[in-house]
Amino acid sequence: DGGITQSPKYLFRKEGQNVTLSCEQNLNHDAMYWYRQDPGQGLRLIYYSQIVNDFQKGDIAEGYSVSREKKESFPLTVTSAQKNPTAFYLCASRAGIGDTQYFGPGTRLTVL
């Protein structure tokens, strides 16, 4: 089955710890994206990558970091510098600009 997987579904961390969220796709898509969603709000773009070994900051990149060493993987690290990390994080991918974007199931991060 082709698709996007995010793990884990729920994640709890103590304040001050870095945490890495996994996103893997086997759709052979070039572009991958990370979004953050807060209760009652829309999706805000954190980082995106249009090709392997390249990525760009989105609208709310501060306190986050990413890597794109492999086409199928785009992990997101939530660092201790992120002031309000508790949120629902969605990963997405698509073949290219203008193609359908597919979403992973999301990871709900709670920082205690």
Partner 1 sequence: GENVEQHPSTLSVQEGDSAVIKCTYSDSASNYFPWYKQELGKGSQLIIDIRSNVGEKKDQRIAVTLNKTAKHFSLHITETQPEDSAVYFCAASMGMRFGAGTRLTVKP
Residues 6+ apart with CB under 8 A from 86: 109, 110, 111
For residues 36 and 71, which CB has a smaller minimum distance to partner 1 in the complex? 36
Selection from 16, 18, 35 nearest residue 107 by Cα: 35
In the complex, minimum distance from the CB of residue 103 to partner 1, in angstroms, rounded to a whole number? 4
Asked whether the beta carbons of 74 and 32 are under 8 A apart, the reply is yes
In the complex, minimum distance from the CB of residue 53 to partner 1, in angstroms, rounded to a whole number? 20
**Residues near partner 1 (CB under 8 A):** 33, 35, 41-45, 48, 58-59, 90, 92, 94, 97-106
For residues 2 and 98, which CB has a smaller minimum distance to partner 1 in the complex? 98
In the complex, minimum distance from the CB of residue 92 to partner 1, in angstroms, rounded to a whole number? 8
Q: Say which DSSP state 86 is in.
A: -
What whole-number distance in Å separates Cα of residue 3 and Cα of residue 86? 25
For residues 27 and 43, which CB has a smaller minimum distance to partner 1 in the complex? 43
For residues 30 and 80, which CB has a smaller minimum distance to partner 1 in the complex? 30
What whole-number distance in Å separates Cα of residue 74 and Cα of residue 103? 13
What whole-number distance in Å separates Cα of residue 109 and Cα of residue 87? 6
In the complex, minimum distance from the CB of residue 77 to partner 1, in angstroms, rounded to a whole number? 21
